[in-house]
Each structure stands twice: as C-alpha cells, then as structure tokens.
Amino acid sequence: MANPMILVTGSEGFVGSQLCRELLRRGSSVLAARRAGREGRTAEEKEISQRGTKAQETPHLHTIGLGDIGPDTDWSAALSGMDAVVHLAARVHMMKETAADPLAEFRMVNVAGTRRLAEAAAQAGVKRLVFLSSVKVNGEATGKGREPFREGDPPRPEDDYGVSKWEAEQTLRETERQTGIEVVIIRPPLIYGPAVKANFLNLIRLIERGMPLPFGGIRNQRSLLGLTNVVDLICCCLEHPAAAGETFLASDGDDVSTPELVCRIARSLDKPARLLQVPEWLINLGGKVTGKSNEAKRLCGSLQIDSSKVRLVLGWTPPCTMAEELRRVAAWRDICLHTRG
C-alpha cells in the first residue's frame, strides 16, 4: 500500500509518540488522535513531520482533538480516509484510584470505547485495526512448574485493567465477525525504553543514586519488550497479510531475573549494581507492610512469554536487543539529568 493513512490513538503516550515517528519514517501518513483542546502539534511532532516529509516527500503528520474515549465518542472526522487504525489509548492503572467503581470506569473506556471505535472504523471502510492489549489477559505470573504464557491459554486476568482488556479483545473479535474488519491483537509484557515511567523508572532512579537493592537472592524469570521492538511489531502487524485475525504474545526473547535486570540497567548507566541478599519472604512481608504487595510480587515472581507464534506466523524477530534498548534509556536519562542541571 503506497503511503497508507494511519490513525493512531494514544499518540501522545510512551508507545504512541515513538510509533508515529516510525510510521512516518516508513512512508505512512499519520493522524495522531489526542484529547480535545490539544489539536496543535507539539514541537516534537512538527520536527517528526518535517523529517518525514523531507525523507519521503509525501508522508505527513496531522493531529485531531477528541473528547474522552467512550461509548459516545464521535470518530467520523478522525476515520475519514484512513486505511488502518492503531488503538493504543486506554484507561490504565491509577497509582491512587479515586473512582467509586474502578471496573466500570475501565469498561467505559477500554471496552465500550474500543467497541465504538471498531464499529465506526468498519463503517468508514478501514481495512485493519491493530489493538495493543496486555499480557495481563493471560494472568499475572508463571513459574513454579508453569509453562510460559501462550496465546491459546485460557485467559485469567486478575485485576480490573486485565479484565477490561480481555473484554475489549472479545468485543473486537465480535465486531470483526460482524463487519469483516481485520483485527490484530498484541499482548505485550512490561514495555521499557526512553521516557519509560512508573516502576521501571523508579528502579532506574534507585540505581542512579547507588542505592543498595534487596534483590540479590531472587531467582525468577521475566519477559520484557523494548519500545523499539513493540513499535516494529505494530508496524509489521499493520502490513503483514498473515496478521489478520491473529492474537500475538511478544517479548524481547531474552528473559531475565530481577537481579540480572538490575545489573543490566546499572551497566548501561555506568553505575555499580548494589545487590543485597534478602529472602523473598521478607521482601513480600515488606510489601504488605508498606501497601505495595503487588509490586513486591512482581519483583519476586516470574512472568514468561512464549513468542514462538509471532515468529512463526509473521517471521518477526525483535530488531533490538535488551542491551541496545537499555543504552537508549541511559542516553535519555543523561539528557534528562543534564537538562535539570
């Protein structure tokens, strides 16, 4: 498809901003959907668009403002002339949840909002929709004799976010059957890269400060997915004929323990890895006392993904190693620290 037109929701986010950049580089024109009142392009978006135009002549980036995503969102203007949609926007975990009924709020955006978009896209003649789901649909942990998660495993979401993502997948498949729009679903594990936030960023900051970390005795294995790799996979799913109708689990293919991850991050930052041998039970106890049981479980527990399906069906392999992505993270942190200084 020459110079396809792609609508990207969640275009201001961690994955969305990098995806827009890459789509332009590859010759697609991008309509970046953002919240109403934010229609004007940022300086970064202008620079991305100009670079894409110089390189390809025809690709361009436009933005469009939308209200909150939900069952009543009007997508007509955003979908006009689009060949494909990448749906990244979602209600995500809140550090301090304020909703009286969090599951209802997740369903409003992640389920009803996704259904509304898919139905409108099909009506507008959009051929394909790529949806970024979550490995949380499969569950929260593997290990202790359990095999890595696979696409065919029975879904076992354990929190409201995971439940809403699973329900969103189901409504997309229903819309696909009813309308013929091609749906591709990607379930990533934790995504990391430049501009990463939340717990991964907190870990980076602790390593930067030289803080001793009590993870030396943890013997787990976790799958991760670098930002460069997830963006490349999304681009592949937009184009590959065999992706239509499929669900894919994907990772870097380089599973690491928590202490090994600390060592790799420290190496990329040129900092020492200060690891203390603390029993897992004590870490979990500390999580309960501090109200961070879930964080402690993730640090100690395993979550592994079997990526063989995406490699077999699409012939996709991660273009970026973990070491390379962590070097990009280190370069980003260096810029952040110098800017603040």
> Which amino acid is present at 243?
A
Question: Could you give the 3-state DSSP secondary structure of residue 334?
Answer: helix
Question: Could you give the 3-state DSSP secondary structure of residue 109?
Answer: helix
Give the Cα separation of 154 and 149 in Å (integer): 10
Pick left, alpha or beta for residue 207 (phi over 0 → left; psi -120 to 50 → alpha; otherwise beta). Answer: alpha
The token pair that represents 149 in the structure block: 């998660």
Planar angle of CA 153, 158, 164, nearest 5 degrees: 85
161 classed as catalytic: yes
Name every residue whose Cβ is closer than 8 Å to that of residue 141 and which is 6 or more positions away in sequence. Answer: 297, 301, 302, 303
Catalytic residue among 131, 161, 166, 316: 161
Give the Cα separation of 273 and 278 in Å (integer): 15
Check residue 245 and report its DSSP letter: T
Give the Cα separation of 7 and 117 in Å (integer): 11
**Under 8 Å between Cβ of 168 and 221:** no
What residues are labeled active site?
Answer: 161
